[in-house]
Chain A
């Protein structure tokens, strides 16, 4: 429960009176407010600046420094105030958190100083309100990155226990780690450059010799170029194989873009080696040589900027696609118009609509080669419209795309961040919600253990187990308890619920114990009663740390002594918490005398229930209650696979 609405708890409890006429069972007793102090003002002296607030304001968050007894360490007897030697400016937001329930992050505050204050006062930063959370996280991330940069300078020390393969991979990825890596880096770079230049120069026409016309250098100095090509390809192949060997995940490496580029760069050479000088395939072989230009992309390993460009292009793909689509639309429209406009004129170059595409593109991009010009008046008019609109269509999206690049790039980063935060946020909210739900169930069990121990345990045991729940919590739990009584159903957690569903399915045969007389079955299930048992149960003296297998977490130790008002018509083993006390007037199970008890224990899954045997370690069976009118006999019911129910019933 958010303690921010703690002030409304009295109202919620008062409104519970609306349930009373509807409820069939009596309500539990309300917790008493023993500390009937008047609300008092507390003075908090933070480095000389005095803050004053009500005590109840600070008590709202009992697991922080100011809300718990930890602040007593800072109490100054002479001046009757709490003195903290901290920053008073930061303390303002902390105190406001208690007042309003929302924690804000002041922007002028240094992030690490603020974090330290929060840690000192025991407040977790996750509860910062939505208005300031984004800013807080951004600043924290920047700070973290700054710290990481400082640390990374030390990280490049060689770890002694890296094997050869890992060393090599690290050398490939970070050339600055060792001299060898640096040498390798520069050598490969050099050879990529050589290879690209070779490919380019190959096609330049060298000077003509006497008997031949101009031919490209590649054909003139075939051998030289072939040797150069071979050398480069050998280096590239060796590099690729080394990377493949050193990669931590070879499969992933082979799928990566860079390795594909590597393969594509060297493959044409090998194909050329393999292929014969056949006439048909040599044409195809020549085309393959085009792929040698992909070697230039190998530079992206050496250049950060190329990598970023590639990534942003990928992320802007949809924008680019839309630009292309709209351009295509415009081209088709204008080409069609020009074609039909120029159809009439003779010797027109606009022979078909696809032929007009070329004219449209050249005009729209304001290139204007002049190889195709319209001759008719209509054609000229439309041609001018085409070039004017081309300016707009081409020039406008370009800055948009550029700004899209930066916007989309940053937006992607922020969206991922927000999505991760949202998941964490929802998880936290869910945990808090289930935490408060679990708190109630936990306190129920604690309440039972406390009652048991009250009867039998010594003072120390009691002190150990009784967790100090605040008055607020006990009042809230009492409210939930009243709701349980009103509806005659109990809150359980998910595990138990699943289990009960299983039980109702499994338990198809009735219990063997005789039904208690005149049980008012109109209520379906019996209400829970809390009647104290006079005689000490041996189980109660078992220390709580009994090694019962926690197969189902909740029902540990002897968390419940169940008494079943068995109703053969209801096939579920209805469990209600019940301690017998003979003379308590609050026994109100209409009709029958309650003389049954069930001890429910979790058994390890290995212990499968046999047909009618007793389950659970036999020493747990309680002796018959001595002060009881009739000696009870022990009967068993068939139980689900997970729990064993030993039923003690009086005949």
Chain B
């Protein structure tokens, strides 16, 4: 009878060890991107630029993937005045095209390629995707209000002039006035691209970040 007792103890110890190993394995998820040549072919960056980008990426995220928490933290560091977490959440969803819950280097570099080296249409398309939170192909007022409110949240409390409570709403109304051509309450991709192309300011500002890398 004592050997049964002994064996059961040993078995429970082994089970515990396995569980500990499982836990250990879970934290060691590592991701390696595809080869440099493939990425160079898929994006508009040169090899050198990809190298620089990857070094920075891997430095911050040694495991090779960014999850939403880390993403929010990193983005919040650039906007110390206010709360950047909501906007970072929308950004994260826009970057994470595969909806996997984490951004890999390929996603990162693909989005950067569009934003920095893409055509105007591609950039506008990416922006439309960012605004279209539920990915149904239309931007309605609620989605736009959420986005604009997230942007205003980044400003924080101490602004000049004092941020009124309905400032986002006014902003959204102006936006819809400009973009919604057929006044059906939603903005489609074509309306969006057309309206943006008509606006000089937007066209000019889209070229603003060409020399970022």
Chain A residues with a Cβ under 8 A of chain B: 1-2, 4-27, 29-30, 32-33, 38-39, 99-100, 433-434, 436-437, 475-476, 479-480, 482-484, 486-487, 489-494, 496-497, 500-501, 504, 522-525, 572, 574-575, 588
Whether B161 lies near A525 (C-beta < 8 A) is yes
Whether B171 lies near A14 (C-beta < 8 A) is no
A182 → B minimal CB distance (Å): 61
Chain A minimum-CB-distance residue to B95:
A15
Whether A8 lies near B208 (C-beta < 8 A) is no
Chain B residues with CB under 8 Å of A525's CB are 161
Whether B206 lies near A524 (C-beta < 8 A) is no
CA distance A574 to B163 in the complex (A): 13
CA distance A2 to B74 in the complex (A): 9
Chain A residues with CB under 8 Å of B175's CB are 21-22
Chain B residues with CB under 8 Å of A27's CB are 201, 204-205, 208
B118 → A minimal CB distance (Å): 10
Whether A22 lies near B108 (C-beta < 8 A) is no
A21 CB contact (under 8 Å) in B53, B59, B79, B192: B192
Chain B residues with CB under 8 Å of A29's CB are 208
Binds A, one of B4-12, B22-30, B149-157: B149-157
Whether B208 lies near A30 (C-beta < 8 A) is yes
Query: A21-B196, A23-B201, A436-B80 are known contacts. Are A574 and B161 too (CB-CB below 8 A)?
Result: yes
How many residues of B sit at the interface, in one of the four size bands? 35 or more
A487 CB contact (under 8 Å) in B59, B74, B155, B204: B155
CA distance A504 to B160 in the complex (A): 12
CA distance A239 to B101 in the complex (A): 77
Extra 5 A-B pairs, beta carbons < 8 Å, given A8-B75, A39-B52, A484-B155: A7-B57, A23-B205, A29-B208, A524-B164, A572-B161
Indicate if B116 sits at the interface (CB-CB under 8 A): yes
CA distance A1 to B73 in the complex (A): 12
Whether B77 lies near A5 (C-beta < 8 A) is yes
B81 → A minimal CB distance (Å): 5
Whether B158 lies near A491 (C-beta < 8 A) is yes
Query: A1-B78, A23-B201, A524-B167 are known contacts. Are A13 and B127 too (CB-CB below 8 A)?
Result: no
B54 → A minimal CB distance (Å): 10
Whether B91 lies near A15 (C-beta < 8 A) is yes
Chain A residues with CB under 8 Å of B108's CB are 11
Chain B residues with CB under 8 Å of A18's CB are 91, 94, 126-127, 130-131
Whether B154 lies near A483 (C-beta < 8 A) is yes
A103 → B minimal CB distance (Å): 16
Indicate if B1 sits at the interface (CB-CB under 8 A): no
Indicate if B133 sits at the interface (CB-CB under 8 A): no
CA distance A31 to B212 in the complex (A): 10
Chain B residues with CB under 8 Å of A10's CB are 53, 56, 112, 116, 212-213
Whether A501 lies near B56 (C-beta < 8 A) is no
Whether A1 lies near B80 (C-beta < 8 A) is yes
Chain A residues with CB under 8 Å of B211's CB are 30, 32-33
CA distance A25 to B151 in the complex (A): 15
Question: B173-206 CB contact bits vs A (8 Å, 1 = yes)?
Answer: 0110001000000000000100010000110111
Chain B minimum-CB-distance residue to A475:
B212
Indicate if B41 sits at the interface (CB-CB under 8 A): no
Indicate if B65 sits at the interface (CB-CB under 8 A): no
Closest CB pairs A-B (n = 5) = A7-B56, A14-B115, A497-B158, A27-B205, A489-B159
Whether A497 lies near B209 (C-beta < 8 A) is no
Chain B residues with CB under 8 Å of A434's CB are 80
Chain A minimum-CB-distance residue to B109:
A11
Indicate if B72 sits at the interface (CB-CB under 8 A): no
B78 CB contact (under 8 Å) in A476, A492, A504: A476
CA distance A489 to B164 in the complex (A): 10
CA distance A131 to B91 in the complex (A): 32
A573 → B minimal CB distance (Å): 10
Query: A25-B201, A493-B158 are known contacts. Are A20 and B206 too (CB-CB below 8 A)?
Result: yes
B119 → A minimal CB distance (Å): 13
Question: B62-82 CB contact bits vs A (8 Å, 1 = yes)?
Answer: 000000000000110111110
A106 → B minimal CB distance (Å): 21
Chain A residues with CB under 8 Å of B209's CB are 13-14, 16-17, 30
A30 → B minimal CB distance (Å): 5
Indicate if B60 sits at the interface (CB-CB under 8 A): yes
Whether A487 lies near B152 (C-beta < 8 A) is yes
Whether B206 lies near A437 (C-beta < 8 A) is no
Chosen A-B contacts, 30 in total, with CB atoms closer than 8 Å, are A7-B55, A7-B60, A8-B60, A8-B75, A10-B213, A13-B209, A14-B112, A17-B126, A18-B94, A20-B205, A20-B208, A23-B201, A23-B202, A23-B205, A27-B204, A30-B208, A32-B211, A33-B211, A38-B48, A433-B80, A483-B151, A487-B167, A487-B171, A489-B161, A489-B167, A490-B161, A496-B160, A497-B162, A500-B162, A572-B161
B125 → A minimal CB distance (Å): 11
B62 → A minimal CB distance (Å): 9
Whether B159 lies near A21 (C-beta < 8 A) is no
Indicate if B42 sits at the interface (CB-CB under 8 A): no
Whether A11 lies near B167 (C-beta < 8 A) is no
